[in-house]
Structure 1
Amino acid sequence: MRNDEILQRIKGGLVVSCQALEGEPLHSSYIMGRMAFAAYEGGAVAIRANTPEDIREIKKTVGLPVIGLHKVDYPDSEIYITPTMKEIDGLIQAGCDIIAIDATKRIRPKGQTLDELFRQARSKYPDQLFMADTSCYEEGLHAQELGFDLVGTTMSGYTEYTKGTVLPNYDLMKRYVDTLNIPVVAEGGIWSPEQLHKAFAAGVWTAVVGTAITRPREITRRFVNALS
């Protein structure tokens, strides 16, 4: 698919995040492939997935666009979502339709800035769609200036300077929609259809729901905690 076709295909629909880290009960590329198939049958327009291995399995299983990322912990940086060119190269080889990158203002491994990484990535892969995972308005504005194709509210509440933010962050969604010229992706803290509807009412292009759909351990804990 061409980039414009990918963007049109996800517009107005639900993206389901199918991820399970090591140590989680569903950690398995095969299981994530089946989870993606279940999301496809349920009406998802795209899948957000972690690691080249999971993404390859998912792309064998469903024909939906994939927003890919690779979570890797480096000892010298707080950033773990696609932190370096090594991860970007791997996601390209896995056939990601859109690559998600942490676009917060924090320093990356080996002291690299977002500007340096993204310019390198854009130069190497000029036709690739890139999504900026941001936590605050200034980061979204900067991501657009750098040339990202989409901007998401993914990291809101997850950086030191946005801790305590009430999620979903509808204010940030609306501000992005009102002032930016690239598609806005609502992501983070969407637990109910009512919250999803409110996000689309803010004007977002698409929305990602993960934990509320694909992490049964966390869903179970939420119900159990309601009994306390």
Structure 2
Amino acid sequence: MSFERVLGQLRGGLIVSCQAPADSPLHDPYVIGAMAAAAVKQGAIAVRIDSPAHIAAVRDRISVPIIGLWKQVIPSSEVYITPQFHHAQAVAEAGADVIAIDATERSRPGGETLADLVQQIHDQLQKPVMADIDTLASAQAAVAAGVDLLGTTLYGYTRETQHCEPPGFELLGNLIDQFAVPCICEGGIASPAAAQQALKLGASAVVVGTAITGIDILVQRYQAALSDV
């Protein structure tokens, strides 16, 4: 599938992030595949999936684009979303159409630069890259490195933005004003109204995770609220 076709499919709709904590019973390829299939059946234009095993299970069940990533904790770096090329390669081989990577300005493991990683993914894997960013400065660096999509994914989840509360609508507006690269709003979208607002601001698409598929977190919230009564 060409870059243009994939990017064209990621416009104007809902992307569902189908993930689960590692200690959850839902953290199972079959279950993640079922979540993704249910989301697509109800109109999701794409899904966002973590890890090669889960991506492969989802690929067997759906034909819409998969934004793939692989969360890896590396002691020498705070970067954990598809931190190195071999992680991106495994994600691509599992069936992802787009590779999502951490594109913050934090130090990368192994000394690899963001530009190097993007070029390797383009040249060797022939896949578009979604840059998960946290600030306008990281977006500028990501665009300079040649990424194909910007996502507000890490707004509120880095040291620079830990005082910020997602969704990053102000950041989204700045990205849309300053860059021609399509922007996806991800993080903190907790209602259909918020998703609609993101599109009205100019987002190419909206990623929703916890509010749709986060059973573990949602049950914890309800249980905590009821325990206080």
Q: How would you bin the TM-score normalised by the shorter chain? A: over 0.9
Partner of 2:189: 190
Structure 1 CA distance, aligned partners of 2:21 and 2:84? Answer: 19
The aligned runs of 1:121-140 (5 Å cut-off) are 121-125=121-125, 127-140=126-139
Counterparts in 2 of 1:70-219, with a 5 A limit?
70-125=70-125, 127-219=126-218
Whole-angstrom CA distance in 1 between matches of 2:37 and 2:118? 32
Tell me, in whole angstroms, the C-alpha distance in 2 between the residues paired with 1:156 and 1:29: 28
Q: Percent identity?
A: 40
Unaligned stretches of 5+ residues in structure 1: none
Contact 2:68–2:92 (Cα < 8 Å) also in 1 = no
Which residue in 2 is equivalent to 1:36? 36
Q: How far is 1:62 from its partner?
A: 1.1
**1:29-60, Cα deviation, whole Å (9 max, x unpaired):** 00000000110112100000001110111010
- TM-score (ref. length: structure 2): 0.95
CA contact (8 A) 2:189 2:211 kept: yes
Q: How many residues align?
A: 227
**Distance in structure 2 (CA, Å) of the matches to 1:158 and 1:32:** 24
CA separation in 2, counterparts of 1:25 and 1:152? 28
**How far apart are 1:7 and its partner, in Å?**
1.7
Question: How much is the aligned-residue C-alpha RMSD, in angstroms?
Answer: 1.3
Amino acid of the structure 2 residue aligned with 1:172? L
Secondary structure in 2 aligned to 1:124?
Answer: helix
Cα offsets for 1:53-76 (capped at 9, x unmatched)? 101110101111100000111111
- In the alignment, is the contact (CA less than 8 A) between 1:107 and 1:114 conserved in 2? no
2:85 and 2:117 in contact (8 A); partners too: yes
Unaligned runs of 5+ in 2: none
8 A contact 2:37–2:62 mirrored in 1: yes
Rounded to whole Å, the distance in 2 between the matches of 1:88 and 1:49 is 13
AA aligned to 1:66 is I
Q: Distance in 2 between matches of 1:168 and 1:74?
A: 27
User: After superposition, what is the alpha-carbon deviation per residue over 1:151-181, rounded to whole angstroms, capped at 9, x for unaligned?
Assistant: 0000001111110212111001111111101
Amino acid at match of 1:181: A
Name the CA distance, whole Å, in 2 between partners of 1:192 and 1:222. Answer: 16
State the 1:211 CA deviation.
0.7
Cα distance in 2 for partners of 1:7, 1:226 equals 41
> 2:131 is paired with a residue of what secondary structure?
strand
Distance 1:20 1:29 in 2: 10
Whole-angstrom CA distance in 2 between matches of 1:120 and 1:67 = 17
- Measured after TM superposition, the shift of residue 226 of structure 1 is 4.0
Partner of 2:3: 3
C-alpha distance in 2, partners of 1:223/1:101?
Answer: 32
Aligned to 1:56: 56
